[in-house]
Amino acid sequence: MDIVIPLFDRFEPLDAMGPYEILAHVPGATVRFVAPEPGRVTDTLGALTVDVGTGYAEVEQCDVLLVPGGRGTRELVKDQDFVAWVRRIHDGTAFTASVCTGALLLGAAGLLDGLTATTHWAATAELEAYGARYTPERVVRHDRIITSAGVSSGIDMALGLAALLTDDVTAQAIQLYTEYDPTPPFDSGSVAKSSPEVREQARTLG
């Protein structure tokens, strides 16, 4: 089971590392990071640097393609070589998934046209510009295409994907091992639950 996660400058760290933590525990799975060019990429917060030894062009196929988001997606959607690679790799995957604004890259590749999909709540207009219909659901699946909402939702998506790749018991065992049993101190994790003041400040963070 070959799972590929592209990284790029200004990627959102939890978008990639949350699903990586989950999917790396899938029996028989290998998770690989790829980048536009081999070398270092830096996350959107500026403090995490990752050495990636493989360029995406070296990857011709995989079982799962998982595209994270982050500020860097706004530049990558203009990179026709990368977008064409996403489209080409998707043709042979068992599942193609995105977290947060990674959905914009799936959209740019034409994979979401006419489908309901989710992304970070602040990027809904950008998503719909690619022909998708935004829904505020945390995870949306259409056959082998899966999109998930902002940042932390990638963990939920990855657990569901782990079940699709194996079985429910294995996915639940991974959930238990990672002790993913969230009890957040505040109930403001979605637009529908947050106050106007919280939403205004949240927009300054991305």
pLDDT digits (tens, 9 = 90+) for 11-42: 999 999 999 999 999 999 999 999 999 999 99
pLDDT digits (tens, 9 = 90+) for 103-158: 999 999 999 999 999 999 999 999 999 999 999 999 999 999 999 999 999 999 99
Query: What is the mean predicted confidence (pLDDT) over 39-61?
Result: 98
| Residue from 17, 100, 109, 112 carrying the catalytic annotation | 100
Q: What is the DSSP string of 130-166?
A: TT-EE---SEEEETTEEEE-STTHHHHHHHHHHHHHS
φ, ψ dihedrals at 196, nearest 5°: -55, -35
Q: Number of structural domains, the chain?
A: 1
φ, ψ dihedrals at 109, nearest 5°: -80, 0
* pLDDT surpassing 90 at residue 206: no
Reply yes or no on whether 62 is catalytic. no
Q: Which domain holds residue 198?
A: 2-202
Token pair belonging to 49: 């640097």
pTM for the model? 0.97
CATH number, domain with residue 67? 3.40.50.880
